[in-house]
Structure 1
């Protein structure tokens, strides 16, 4: 985040480097394993390189499209642009594109592979519920993701899991419908497909655990950065409390549509309550932990707010 005034976070940088290093090793082992179990080299290369290029260059557009969001001009959303303008001036960072998603799910997210392609998006549900200081605090949180470059890291880190998940599904279909006959020169297509499924499932599990751990830490880091930049940790805490409290009032279908993007949201959208796979392997730390951190920052700043 060279050049920005968001507080540096060596812990986040270390975790991003460590996660990416481990994923690169897993990625290499994944490619080698696919070749060793009998998958043609050209097909491995096509899938891996194709997915990598597609996700790297299209992730922002895909996220905006999937959320029904669209970029807005200062004339279309003057108040939202004014908040982003002020925060970017305060943080001394380039202004990203600004978008709005027309949904009552109160949330915000940042996407884009770098500062030039970055987009900060707020939902209409978020803007309707929060006052100006709370909205500013949430957008500062999202801008810190851009400044820390963890949006790019999460995009790249998620790539391996997507490829592994795709190959697992493809392998299962081949294993079920591909027949059990042996090739003249080796194992049957069904056996190769099953081996691909095993390798892919292991890789998916490893990437899942690594990216979830990184995701939880980066949310705490963004909360800290936003609180110190604005000097009003209570505004962020108030926004967090409002948003999580109002999630229960959102229709279940809307929450289910939003859940796939939880890793990029300010706070996750859950359609189920209680302990679940989503909460055990959460993309975000518990709300109580985030509020406790913000309370500690308030004491440190001596604002009492």
Structure 2
């Protein structure tokens, strides 16, 4: 099994599972509202089908979309022998299939992994990160990215996004008069379009926040899994400090616009001025460093 040698974190897994359940409940509740409040169930079925279709397309083409957004290209072992060698060793340690390897011609130091399954995944690094990290730091970053692949994080995030997609579609439909009258034709009731619009807006907002909570859990889990795989949490901590410091100081605006759609996939946000707090896709650097420090202390104990 691809994830058998990545250490599990039951606490993080439970929180991610709860978040996924709540997002699923939002999706079901939204569809049920349309069925109950609109004359025909056809609108709800159409919205659900389109939302699922969009989510499926995002999952199916995730590797191509991310590679294009990051201006990346696949490289062979002959073109990047050291990079391939590191990934070969890590995949052997993790007992997982080797993903394709890509390089993005961006000066920003970053890395990402994507793909619809471990067999169809790609791990990509920028030329900036290759120039700035030493071998141990780069290996730690690659272990983090391989954890995303092994745990099928792209699939998890795609499924979780369905509620937000459906809510966005409903908002569009109501703006263009796509919703009919409510059952009973009660003239004193709010127009159905207004009700659906308000509920869709609320579901979209809640889904937006919860997706980012899930994304932050996902990053913490990948940090933890990658650190235990290499047994070098300090190397990952050092890499995160280098990458985050550079990103905050001198990330080219033009490159950031190009990387926007793939920002959530990167080991650190692609945007120096990205959202923070509840809106952030990544945990605060300090929280990540504290977790890695605890792992380092645990591994340093005589019986660790």
Normalised to the residue count of structure 2, the TM-score between the two structures is 0.85
The 10-residue stretch of structure 1 (82-91 or 114-123) with the greater mean CA deviation from structure 2: 114-123
- TM-superposed CA distance for 1:166, in Å, is 4.0
Structure 2 residue 160 is matched with structure 1 residue 157: yes
Does the aligned pair in 2 maintain the 1:113–1:155 contact within 8 Å?
Answer: no
Equivalent in 57, 61, 84 of residue 60 of structure 2: 57
Q: Which residues of structure 2 form unaligned runs of 5+?
A: none
Closer, same or farther: CA 292–17 of 1 in aligned 2, 3 Å: closer
Closer, same or farther: CA 142–182 of 1 in aligned 2, 3 Å: closer
Give 2:297's aligned residue. Answer: 299
What secondary structure, in the 3-state scheme, does the structure 2 residue paired with 1:160 have?
helix
Does the aligned pair in 1 maintain the 2:2–2:95 contact within 8 Å?
Answer: no
Give 1:134's aligned residue. Answer: 137
Does the aligned pair in 1 maintain the 2:51–2:169 contact within 8 Å?
Answer: no
CA distance in 2 between counterparts of 1:66 and 1:193 reads 36
CA distance in 2 between counterparts of 1:295 and 1:142 reads 19
- TM-superposed CA distance for 1:41, in Å, is 4.6
CA distance in 2 between counterparts of 1:30 and 1:8 reads 33
Does the aligned pair in 2 maintain the 1:34–1:44 contact within 8 Å?
Answer: no
Structure 2 residue 250 is matched with structure 1 residue 249: yes
Give 1:72-87 correspondences, 5 Å limit. Answer: 72-87=75-90
CA distance in 1 between counterparts of 2:74 and 2:166 reads 29
What secondary structure, in the 3-state scheme, does the structure 2 residue paired with 1:98 have?
strand
CA distance in 2 between counterparts of 1:7 and 1:102 reads 33
Structure 2 residue 260 is matched with structure 1 residue 262: no
Give 2:229's aligned residue. Answer: 229
Does the aligned pair in 1 maintain the 2:76–2:101 contact within 8 Å?
Answer: yes
Closer, same or farther: CA 182–268 of 1 in aligned 2, 3 Å: closer
Give 1:286's aligned residue. Answer: 284
- TM-superposed CA distance for 1:196, in Å, is 3.6
- TM-superposed CA distance for 1:170, in Å, is 4.9
Give 1:146's aligned residue. Answer: 149
What secondary structure, in the 3-state scheme, does the structure 2 residue paired with 1:6 have?
coil
The 10-residue stretch of structure 1 (139-148 or 152-161) with the greater mean CA deviation from structure 2: 152-161
Structure 2 residue 211 is matched with structure 1 residue 211: yes
Larger RCO (alpha carbons 8 Å, 6+ apart): 2
Write out per-residue CA displacement over residues 63-108 of structure 1, whole angstroms, 9 at most, x where no aligned residue.
2222222222222222211111011011121111212222122111
- TM-superposed CA distance for 1:192, in Å, is 4.9
CA distance in 1 between counterparts of 2:96 and 2:146 reads 9
CA distance in 1 between counterparts of 2:158 and 2:45 reads 25
CA distance in 2 between counterparts of 1:63 and 1:160 reads 22
CA distance in 2 between counterparts of 1:141 and 1:19 reads 22
Does the aligned pair in 1 maintain the 2:181–2:192 contact within 8 Å?
Answer: no
CA distance in 2 between counterparts of 1:224 and 1:145 reads 11
How many equivalent residue pairs?
293
Closer, same or farther: CA 96–166 of 1 in aligned 2, 3 Å: same
After the TM superposition, which parts of structure 1 deviate over 6 Å for at least 4 consecutive aligned residues? none
CA distance in 1 between counterparts of 2:219 and 2:52 reads 30
CA distance in 2 between counterparts of 1:297 and 1:168 reads 45
Give 2:8's aligned residue. Answer: 8
| Root-mean-square deviation (Å) | 2.8
